[in-house]
Amino acid sequence: MKRLLYLTSFSLLLLTTSFVSASDWTEVRTLEGKFTTLSQHFEKDKWTLVMLWTTDCGICQREYPIMSEFHDKHKDTDAKVIGVSLDGYSKVDSITEYINEMPMTFDNLIGEITVVAFNYESATEESLRGTPTFLMFNPKGQLVGHNPGPVKPEALEKFISR
């Protein structure tokens, strides 16, 4: 029953999100400090799951291996994961050290929480409640879903296989 609830809640959030292009989304930075956008890190014909996280998020720490497994399973075929730290670029050194210590196999970027939160709220008509928060972009680069809190890989796989 709990599993069904996770699948249903993620599916409902996916269905209620309006389509927003990734190019309309926030500017982020690479770990090296280069300004970039999310869409520059998308791959043609692939779903992209963006995980918003912070270094002090305990739930995020539990999600890294799960999302890394999802990323590794799908990266050569139909989907990938991109992480975005919301700690801000002023903490790049501690973010980089943190990433090197965590079991993440997906690429990470850095966003400023005020900018990301503004764009999240504009796109979803909901407040950014915390981390982790997940954003699903379809192969055309359109935001088609969002979910505050953990997401089950089975729900993601079911959604992208539709």
Kindly indicate the confidence band of residue 23, based on its pLDDT and cuts at 50, 70 and 90.
Answer: low
Q: Which residues of 50-67 are buried (b: 16+ CB within 10 A; e: fewer)?
A: bbbbbbebeebeebbeeb
Q: Is the pLDDT of residue 127 over 50?
A: yes
| Average pLDDT estimate for 18-39 | 80
- Pick the more confident residue, 50 or 103: 50
CATH 3.40.30.10, applies to 2-160: yes
pLDDT at 16 over 50: no
Average pLDDT rounded to a whole number, residues 6-28: 55
* pLDDT tens digits for range 30-84: 999 999 998 899 999 999 999 999 999 999 999 999 999 999 999 999 999 999 9
Distance between CA atoms of 151 and 87, rounded to whole angstroms?
A: 21
Going from N- to C-terminal start, the domains of the chain cover 2-160
Instruction: Note if the pTM is more than 0.85.
Output: yes
User: What sections of 80-141 are H helices per DSSP?
Assistant: 92-101, 113-124
Higher-pLDDT residue of 12, 127: 127
Average pLDDT, the chain: 89
